[in-house]
Structure 1
Amino acid sequence: MKKILIMNDLLYGGGVEKMMMDLVNNISSKNYDITILTPNKDRFNRKYYRNDIKFMSIQGYLFKENNMFFRACNKILKKINRFICISKLNYSNFDVAIAIKEGRIMKFISQIKAKKSLAWIHTDYEVFHWTKNSFGIGNKFGELECMKKFDKVVCVSESTKKSVIKIVGNPQNLCVKYNPINEIEIEKKSKEYIVEKRSSGKTLFVTVGRLTSQKGYKRLLNTCIELNKEQYNYELWIIGSGEEELELRKIIEENNLNNIKLLGLQENPYKYMKEADWFICSSIWESFGIAIQESIILGVPVITTNCPGACELLDTSVNSIIVENSQDGILKGMKKALNNSDLLKFYKGKIKYLSEDFKLEKRIKRIEELF
């Protein structure tokens, strides 16, 4: 049995966490002994993982007082905690050490001694190179050198791989593995009872994601303002939470967008997605687009902005409408769907066949080959 260490900054929350959950919960418990490492202790979200999964955290004792002296002490203690954790991990004889996220997580795991080391990259570096300061400001070679320490650096799409090469350089160990998606669990959860009911006779658009600038929800609401002025008959459900929530609620209230509902973070978003006529992705950038592929699994056609990572596995003749990555593009895409009811019937009929490339077992097997 191989011992595997996987590190992430969170256990539950966003797309990376969802990918980690699907991976960890579905790889063989007979062949792999899995430990998940996080910077801070998180007992609450362990419920989302199998009972045989082990958990560790870097966090040790820290002072709770919040003044200049104790903040300085905590800074020193954090360094000591990291040193102790690295030492402990290096004596644990892991067969595989995995950084499931880029940036600081990758930097930390690069220090761990294991028979094999892997790192994941989920970000389109051309659009949002958020990791550049994790390796020292002005040290443009630090990230590339860190990547070279791994046996493989896994990119979640071909477009992600191209962005790494263009912005950071080519560490010569990049490969592409699509994120596993548990289509059986998605179908099962989509059948659960839903309290929120859609309005009769209205076309329902649903979107799922963190309420951040990346997801383009402000421009989506601005699109809805235009649609409402022209008296289109539709509603929109937005599922998720994040730093833009208050601002989005303000836009909805000030513009009387009564057909728009912010439903918050849902433990089971699939039962809401299943209700939709269309799934809409208004993102400015996406490296993979898990929610998009989940909607296709549920038989819900997609309207998405042209984000290379999100569009890589989409087929415009079967499951999606891809629009210009702008507010005007979103507006045209929604109008196209609203003006042509036969378009929905066409996609609903075509989307029933699920490509083998979406199947969980196949994607898990491709990842296990790296171990």
Structure 2
Amino acid sequence: MLQKKKILIRIGSLRHGGAEKVLVTFLKNLPKDQFEIDLLLNLYSGKYLQEVPNWINVLYLNKGEMITTNRIQDIPKKASRVIYQNLLRKFPNLLYKRKLQNKKYDIEFAAIHGMRDEILNSPLQSSKKIVWIHNDLSEVRGYSNDEIKKFFGFDKILVISQKIEKLFHDLAENIVEKQKIVKIYNPLDTHEILTEAEKPVINYTFDKNIPTFISVGTVFPQKGFDRLLNVHKKLLEEGFQHKLLIVGDGYDFEKIKNLKNELGVDDTAKLLGFTENPYPYFKNADFYILSSRYEGFPTVLFEAITLQKKIIATEVSGVKEMLDNGSLGLIVDNSEKGIYEGMKNALVNPALFENYTIRMKSYTKPFTLEKSVKDITDVLNKL
């Protein structure tokens, strides 16, 4: 009998985000007879915790909900978490000796780019090291070319789109570095999306006489919800009746909520906050809009395609691949003006979107759950 490979996977938490969702979907479809996995979280928190298979050993540095505010009463706990995590980052031997009990891993896996240094600074010299890149790092603040080149310290770099693959190929200095780059589309569960979409909508009423645009994602600047609200206001002022629904939570939630109030659009725009199941909202909305400033490979578009939605998306990494070069949805300039023109087009010329829907019905997606899981598993087995 083959000995199971021992793998350490690191991620911040399992809150509602694309990378977190993708990781848990991957773990749920991984053959448990091949691997022994420790999943180490910085914070034991998030909606996806309950979905982690019970054969995976979940460890954590801190427990409790993420603190996204700076209220006086929250500062001591927030500070202690940061100090503890920074201590373990600076002295990784403490982490590996105490929390991980001197376990010898075959593979150490950074499930997001933010865990780069934690894995590369591991005291385990013999382990193979992998990173999963979910964002176009050329668009992420703090990531110069020199910073991005540090990822070549990994044995394998998993990238999720052509644009990210090109970024790393352009920065690779030799054939050895180029061979480290592996493009694998994210594993996503079509059956789960379709099943969950049939459940009832809660805390929102759709008006069949007024078009509703929906956008789903973690509420922080990357997602461009500020741009979306500004465009919503402008279109209303021009007489285009419509509603806007934003589903998600995050550290920018209060800021976006305040912007909504300042713009005076409380009657037409709603911030739903976090919901366990966003798919019924997808299903009932008229248009899905991606307003992101940058992405890696926006998995939310896979969900919108699966639910046959009419799509408008800013031109960020992964969008052309996901929307088949614009045959499945309207790709607009990555700007407030682009978002405005896309939404106005949807309201003035809805027939255009019928053509996208027709093509979507006969479209065969080049990415499947089974293929993605197999491709990642092959990488693990070959290391």
* Category of TM-score, reference length = shorter chain: 0.7 to 0.9
Letter in 2 for 1:267: E
Q: Compared with structure 1, are the counterparts of its residues 253 and 121 closer, same or farther at alpha carbon in structure 2 (3 Å cutoff)? A: same
User: Paired residue for 2:281, among 272, 275, 283?
Assistant: 272
**1:221 and 2:232 aligned:** no
Show CA shifts across 1:314-344 (max 9, x none): 1255421001111111111111111123223
SS at match of 1:12: coil
**Structure 2 CA distance for aligned equivalents of residues 313 and 152 of structure 1:** 24
SS at match of 1:370: helix
Q: Compared with structure 1, are the counterparts of its residues 39 and 250 closer, same or farther at alpha carbon in structure 2 (3 Å cutoff)? A: closer
Contiguous gaps of at least 5 residues in structure 1: 133-139
**1:184 and 2:187 aligned:** no
**1:231 and 2:242 aligned:** no
Displacement of 1:77:
5.6
**Structure 2 CA distance for aligned equivalents of residues 332 and 72 of structure 1:** 43
- Correspondence for 1:97: 108
- Correspondence for 1:2: 5
SS at match of 2:26: helix
User: Paired residue for 2:329, among 320, 327, 335?
Assistant: 320
- Correspondence for 2:350: 341
Displacement of 1:147:
2.9
User: Paired residue for 1:56, among 56, 59, 81?
Assistant: 59
Letter in 1 for 2:272: L
Displacement of 1:264:
0.6
Show CA shifts across 1:81-113 (max 9, x none): 73232246584333322111113x122222235
Q: Compared with structure 1, are the counterparts of its residues 42 and 307 closer, same or farther at alpha carbon in structure 2 (3 Å cutoff)? A: closer
- Correspondence for 1:84: 94
SS at match of 1:304: strand
**Structure 1 CA distance for aligned equivalents of residues 377 and 288 of structure 2:** 31
- Correspondence for 1:136: none
**1:126 and 2:138 aligned:** yes
User: Paired residue for 1:363, among 368, 372, 377?
Assistant: 372
Show CA shifts across 1:154-184 (max 9, x none): 1121211333455686733112111111111
**Structure 1 CA distance for aligned equivalents of residues 327 and 46 of structure 2:** 42
- Correspondence for 1:38: 41
Displacement of 1:208:
0.6
Q: Comparing 72-81 with 274-283, which one deviates more in the overlay?
A: 72-81
**1:25 and 2:25 aligned:** no
**Structure 2 CA distance for aligned equivalents of residues 53 and 327 of structure 1:** 43
Displacement of 1:235:
1.1
Q: Compared with structure 1, are the counterparts of its residues 207 and 142 closer, same or farther at alpha carbon in structure 2 (3 Å cutoff)? A: closer
- Correspondence for 1:211: 219
RMSD over aligned Cα atoms: 3.0
**Structure 1 CA distance for aligned equivalents of residues 193 and 109 of structure 2:** 26
SS at match of 2:366: helix
- Correspondence for 1:109: 119
Q: Compared with structure 1, are the counterparts of its residues 18 and 344 closer, same or farther at alpha carbon in structure 2 (3 Å cutoff)? A: same
Contiguous gaps of at least 5 residues in structure 2: 64-73
Q: Compared with structure 1, are the counterparts of its residues 40 and 131 closer, same or farther at alpha carbon in structure 2 (3 Å cutoff)? A: farther
**1:247 and 2:251 aligned:** no
Taking only the aligned residue pairs, the percentage that are identical comes to 29
Show CA shifts across 1:101-146 (max 9, x none): 113x1222222355532111122122114456xxxxxxx85763x5
SS at match of 2:112: coil
**Structure 2 CA distance for aligned equivalents of residues 74 and 220 of structure 1:** 38
Displacement of 1:252:
2.2
Q: Comparing 4-13 with 342-351, which one deviates more in the overlay?
A: 342-351
Letter in 1 for 2:195: K
Displacement of 1:45:
5.4
Q: Is the 8 A contact 2:16 2:46 kept in 1?
A: no
**Structure 2 CA distance for aligned equivalents of residues 275 and 221 of structure 1:** 20
Q: Compared with structure 1, are the counterparts of its residues 281 and 86 closer, same or farther at alpha carbon in structure 2 (3 Å cutoff)? A: same
Q: Is the 8 A contact 2:110 2:130 kept in 1?
A: yes
Q: Compared with structure 1, are the counterparts of its residues 72 and 162 closer, same or farther at alpha carbon in structure 2 (3 Å cutoff)? A: closer
Q: Is the 8 A contact 2:159 2:184 kept in 1?
A: yes
Q: Compared with structure 1, are the counterparts of its residues 230 and 169 closer, same or farther at alpha carbon in structure 2 (3 Å cutoff)? A: farther
SS at match of 1:351: helix
**Structure 2 CA distance for aligned equivalents of residues 327 and 223 of structure 1:** 7
- Correspondence for 2:19: 16
- Correspondence for 2:164: 160
Q: Is the 8 A contact 2:247 2:275 kept in 1?
A: yes
**Structure 2 CA distance for aligned equivalents of residues 184 and 259 of structure 1:** 32
**1:284 and 2:293 aligned:** yes
